[in-house]
Amino acid sequence: MHHEEKSVTRLLKEWCAGDVQALDRLVPAVYDSLHQMARRCLRSQKPGNTLSATALVHEAYLRLIDAEVELNDRVHFYALSARVMRHILIDHAKQQSRAKRGGGRLKVTLDSAVIVGGSPPDALLELDDALTRLASHDQRKSDIVEMLFFGGLTYDEVGHALSISRATVDRELRLAKAWLHRELA
């Protein structure tokens, strides 16, 4: 395990055990990675988007410190961060959609919708609805899509987080993409 990975895992465990000072050391250790994750999520946002990567990181941070979740390790932390950022993006898209007062929903493909933010807010809402339906049928496939596309985790990291092999991640992702493609078509 890389030194940074060990350090983050150790700080997470100390923080979860009640060491408030561990959180003060943890934030600088994960901030750049969270900011990079947020930039990936917002990379293709259309001009005029009011949500910045910094705002997304700060909102995610606020939600994460209030979460009453036992964080096992660095990968688990980033997987949870991906889920939190997804929910923030969805909340933001819903707010933008409400601001437009309706304006019909767009049908999008998984490939265009997974470039998070590249489409209008309704496309992100379509993807979120489809992921929610997928989760009701197969939570693991939904988690894989969420961690890879919203969190930017690697196949190995997703496999570690879900205790499955890299090959299983690949196979499950292909099935999830096919299912989502059918749902979004």
pLDDT tens sequence across 74-116: 888 888 898 898 888 888 888 877 666 444 454 454 554 444 4
Is residue 154 helix, strand or coil? coil
Report the mean per-residue pLDDT for the chain. 82
Residue 116 pLDDT: 45
Give the number of domains in the chain.
1
Query: Side-chain half-sphere of 112: how many Cα atoms within 13 Å?
Result: 13
Whether 106 and 122 have beta carbons less than 8 Å apart is answered as yes
Distances (CA, A) of 120 to 97, 116, 153: 9, 10, 24
pLDDT at 125 over 60: yes
Domain that holds residue 49: 3-184
The pLDDT-based confidence of 66 (bands split at 50, 70, 90) is confident
The reported pLDDT for the residue numbered 3 is 67
The pLDDT of residue 50: 76
Amino acid code (one letter) for 145: V
Please give the single-letter amino acid code of residue 126: E
Q: Are 113 and 184 contacting, i.e. CB atoms less than 8 angstroms apart?
A: yes
Contact 25, 11 (CB under 8 A): yes
Residue located via tokens 């019909």: 104
Give the tokens for residue 179.
């299912």
